[in-house]
């Protein structure tokens, strides 16, 4: 029996090796009522151009953008961290970039996005960890959980690289472990109905 119901204001996604396939399975499935803003860190080579953004903008119903510093977070929009910059969410829900040192050998780092987003949205945030061959995102997921947000992890069985989802499952009390092909619909439902505890 549900004792309380929670709704959400934003989604953050962290993904590394195998990300193109995984995100292609999720983002285009968002229906047009799925208005929660989505911020994504996809690890990529430091010289990468905005290929990912153009690719998904073409593929998705929602508008997909590469973040520029101090962009306001708008509903129904999907944001990618640019290559070689960390992405942070400010308390006033604008987006900041930083070139501070790599975190977990990564810039952008998933932990940097998740920790700052957790502070900004507290219990109204959903964090999703997908395929990847490292453990970036584990600290960030822990902070989201600590502040009352929801954590979803891609079932490692369905992940091209298992280390990243495995690490979160090992260290964080995750809410859901979902096969890749169900995550898009799960988010659509979450957006419509909220989450019942």
Partner 1 sequence: MNRAGENIKNERIEIRLLLEAVNLKYGYDFRNYSFAHVKRRLEKRLNLSGMDNFSQMQHRLIYDASFFNLILFDLSINVTEMFRDPWVYKKIRGTVIPVLKTYPYIKVWHAGCSTGQEVYSMAILLEEEGMKKRAQLYATDFNELILSRAKDGIYPMDVMRKYINNYQKSGGKKDFSDYYAADYSHAIIKRGLRDKILFSSHNLVTDGVFGEMNLILCRNVLIYFDKALQNRVLKLFHDSLCPGGFLCLGTKESIKFSELSDAFELVCDQEKIYRKRR
Give me the residues that bind partner 1 (CB under 8 A), please.
67-72, 82, 85, 88-91, 94, 96-101, 112, 115-116, 119-120, 122-123, 146-148
Give yes or no: 43 in active site. Answer: yes
Of 140, 98, 100, 99, nearest to 120 (Cα)? Answer: 140
Indicate the pairing of strand 150-154 with strand 86-89. unpaired
Q: Between 31 and 90, whose beta carbon lies closer to partner 1?
A: 90
Cα–Cα dist 109/86, whole Å: 6
Is 136 considered catalytic here? yes
Active site (annotated) includes residue 175: no
Cβ proximity to partner 1: between 96 and 188 the closer is 96
Of 111, 136, 139, 167, the active-site residue reads 136
| Smallest distance, partner 1 to C-beta of residue 5, A | 15
CA-CA distance, 143 to 122, in Å (whole number)? 9
Tell me how far, at minimum, the Cβ of 189 lies from partner 1, in Å. Answer: 24
Q: With respect to partner 1, which residue has the nearer C-beta, 104 or 116?
A: 116
- Count CA atoms within 13 Å of residue 162 on its CB side: 7
Point out the residues that are catalytic. 16, 43, 136
């Amino acid at each position: 029996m549900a004792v309380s119901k929670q709704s959400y204001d934003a989604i953050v996604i962290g993904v590394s090796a195998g990300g193109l396939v995984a995100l292609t399975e999720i983002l285009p499935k968002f229906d047009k009522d799925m208005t929660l803003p989505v911020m994504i860190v996809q690890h990529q080579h430091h010289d990468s151009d905005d290929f990912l953004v153009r690719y998904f903008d073409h593929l998705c119903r929602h508008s997909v953008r590469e973040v520029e510093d101090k962009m306001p977070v708008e509903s129904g929009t999907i944001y990618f961290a640019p290559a070689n910059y960390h992405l942070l969410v400010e308390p006033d829900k604008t987006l900041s970039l930083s070139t501070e040192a790599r975190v977990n050998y990564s810039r952008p780092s998933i932990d940097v996005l998740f920790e700052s987003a957790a502070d900004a949205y507290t219990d109204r945030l959903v964090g999703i960890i997908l395929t990847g061959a490292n453990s970036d995102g584990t600290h960030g997921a822990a902070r989201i959980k600590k502040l009352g947000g929801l954590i979803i992890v891609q079932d490692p069985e369905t992940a091209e690289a298992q280390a990243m989802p495995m690490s979160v499952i090992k260290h964080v009390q995750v809410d859901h472990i979902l096969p890749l092909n169900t995550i898009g619909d799960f988010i659509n439902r979450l957006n419509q109905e909220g989450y019942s505890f």
